[in-house]
Amino acid sequence: MITEFHPIIEGITKQLTLWEPILANLPEEVLMLRKNKQNRTIKQIVGHLIDSASNNTHRIIHLQNQLSPLIFPNYATYGNNDRWIAIQDYQNEDWMVIVNLWKYANLHLVHVIKNVDPSRLDNCWESDVNKYISLKTCIIDYLPHLELHLGEIEEMIDN
């Protein structure tokens, strides 16, 4: 395992341990309120985090298995992440399915990060026209993204 990724792995694991019981015990009316600046409910934000874990898992795998630069769609470009949320209809999904899928998608992502080939860290994917992100940066940037959205949820719970 790459030592530099220990804080990321520990951070993801810490957030899962902290947030799983909070999320699991939220009342339905709190889950259904649209409060954040993107007009997303808590269910939709956690759905977005499931998509993020899934897409990052695939990026990490492809970045070790394909030629660099990797041509792999960026689901977040041009508002596509909102389309993903709508198409999957997280708003009407069973809440405990969402919570468990979020937890286990992230546990699997942690496992994948633990097994990254160090010789592939500089491999890049083209996230947008002439914008390249290395495997290393992809991994490092995941935890702040997770924490950003969990912070949004915390604000929504507190309001």
5-31 pLDDT per residue, tens: 999 999 999 999 999 999 999 999 999
Query: Tell me, what's the pLDDT at 140?
Result: 98
pTM above 0.85, yes or no: yes
pLDDT at residue 1 above 90? no
What is the band of 74 on the pLDDT scale with cuts at 50, 70, 90?
confident
pLDDT digits (tens, 9 = 90+) for 26-73: 999 999 876 899 999 999 999 999 999 999 999 999 999 999 998 888
Strands (DSSP E) contained in the chain are 124-128, 131-134
* Higher-confidence position of 128 and 43: 43
Closest CA to 4 of 80, 118, 134: 118
Burial (CB < 10 A; 0-12, 13-18, 19+), residue 43, is: buried
Confidence of residue 80 (pLDDT cuts 50, 70, 90): confident
Residue 70's pLDDT is what? 86
| pLDDT given at position 34 | 65
Domain spans, the chain? 3-158
The answer to which of 29-38, 59-68, 118-127, 148-157 has the lowest mean pLDDT is 29-38
Q: How far apart are CA 63 and CA 123, in angstroms?
A: 6
Domain with residues 3-158, CATH architecture:
Up-down Bundle (1.20)
pLDDT value for 2: 96
pLDDT band at 128 (very low <50, low <70, confident <90, very high): confident
Structure confidence by residue, pLDDT tens digits, 95-115: 999 999 999 999 999 999 999
- The residue behind tokens 């470009």 is 77
List of E strands, 48-143: 124-128, 131-134
